[in-house]
Amino acid sequence: MAGGKGKKGLYGWLILMSLVVLGGVAFSGTCWAGSAMLKVISDPDGAKVTVDTGQEGVTPCTLEVPPGKRGLVIKARGYIAKNVQVDASSTEPTEVKVKLVPIPTTMEKVRPQYCELLGLRD
């Protein structure tokens, strides 16, 4: 009896693994023939990436997308969001490197002549 339960457990595990391996892409959303990979790197790390096809990630990340022209939005708190257009190839991963620019603080927005009047300038 113990051997029978072991076999049933093994068969169940094999079926589960088959579903996971064969359906892995389907579980993540949409499945495309000839998918392309985008490797997204940002400075600073930890920026949110959103692809025009709906995939999301946090940098550094690799995202599977349909091949062709793709639009990405990369944003992080305290930084100006960056829109990027890339041509994702199905033959090799496309690397996207982005340096985000910090949002200027209030004092940096003040015109230099007003800073001088307020004594905020060297």
- pLDDT tens profile 25-51: 333 344 445 789 999 999 999 999 999
Q: What is the pLDDT of residue 48?
A: 98
Tokens, residue 27: 């579980």
Which tokens hold the place of 87?
């041509």
Q: Which of 30, 78, 74, 22 is nearest to 54 (CA)?
A: 30
DSSP 8-class letter at 14: H
82-117 pLDDT tens trace: 999 999 987 889 999 999 999 987 655 555 665 666
Residue 8, both tokens: 């049933």
What are the phi and psi torsion angles at 61 (to 5°)?
A: -150, 160
pTM for the full model?
0.60
Taking the C-alpha atoms of residue 106 and residue 104, their distance in angstroms, rounded to an integer, is 7
How far apart are alpha carbons 55 and 47 in whole angstroms?
A: 14
* Tens-digit pLDDT profile for residues 8-24: 555 554 444 444 444 33
Distance CA 73, CA 83 (A): 5
Region label for 29, one of left (φ > 0), alpha (ψ between -120 and 50) or beta (otherwise): left
Q: Within 13 Å, how many C-alpha atoms sit on residue 112's CB side?
A: 1
